[in-house]
Amino acid sequence: MTKQHLFNGYSVAKETLDLYLEMQNLNRAAIKYVAGIIKVGMNLADMKALCENYLLEHGADSFWYWDVGAFVFAGDETAVSVSGKDYKVTNRIIQENDIITIDLSPQKNNIWGDYARTLVFENGILCDKTDKIRNNEWRSGLQMEEYLHKTLIDVATPDMTFEELYYLMNDVIVKKGFLNLDFLGNLGHSIVKNKNDRIYTEKGNHQRLSDVKMFTFEPHISLPDSKYGYKREDIYYFDNGKLIQL
């Protein structure tokens, strides 16, 4: 008999959960791979190609978000929020001191991965830990992203609506002195099979968090009057009422 996993109130085969975990682990491996080879002087188009080729060579069969597997920004581009359908990678060159956001969207048999991280170069070296970043603004931005994800796990409940989560987390962002940069103002979306079926962590969405099997949390934030943005994205689900990062 197939082992079942209590998954937001759904009875879902553990194998299904494992398929999504496979995609997220692929994303983690892709970021680790790219972090190990990118260097000052590389352009973003090449970096995007490295990410996408890695995803396709290690398990993905395509990309679910507008056929783009890696959205890559650097420097003041990191504060730009744009729909995937309008995205065009630039030939911007990575600088000695630079900040880079990478947002990955692989899929395999319509099973999505969705994952984003922010990388920082200082004096030509990629910082491997947030607390080692010397630039105070960049360090505080990444620390805020980590804090928001921790807060999500602490406050989210199965009966909370997406709208309630939207207001709660945006309130945290503002009280901590940051701005939500998302072009639609939302903070994430449900994980489905067709991107047009997604629902969002946004004002007016009265569905409960547990009405979907999984959802992303992806605050895109900045400090007021700053030219830099920060992004961190993971997929979450409830297991016996507790929110778990996939």
**Which pLDDT tens digit goes with each residue over 33-66?**
999 999 999 999 999 999 999 999 999 999 999 9
Backbone torsions φ then ψ of 26, nearest 5 degrees: -60, -45
Please give the residue range of the domain that contains residue 48: 4-245
Contact 47, 121 (CB under 8 A): no
Compute the CA torsion angle 144, 147, 153, 158 (nearest 10 deg).
Answer: -40
Separation CA 74–CA 100 (nearest Å): 4
Give SS3 for 162.
helix
**Residue carrying the six token digits 């922010």:** 118
Mean pLDDT value across the chain = 94
What is the mean predicted confidence (pLDDT) over 234-246?
94
Q: What percent of the chain has pLDDT over 70?
A: 95
Q: What percent of the chain has pLDDT over 90?
A: 88
Separation CA 147–CA 203 (nearest Å): 22
Give SS3 for 209.
helix
Backbone torsions φ then ψ of 192, nearest 5 degrees: -135, -165
Separation CA 156–CA 8 (nearest Å): 12
- Return the closest-CA partner of residue 221 out of 164, 175, 190: 175
Residue 37 tokens, joined: 């080879």
Residues for the chain: how many in total? 246
Give the number of domains in the chain. Answer: 1
- Global pTM exceeds 0.85: yes
Residue 78 tokens, joined: 């990191």
| 162: confidence class by pLDDT, cuts 50, 70, 90 | very high
CATH, residue 185:
3.90.230.10
Give SS3 for 26.
helix
Sign of the alpha-carbon torsion through 152, 157, 161, 162 = positive
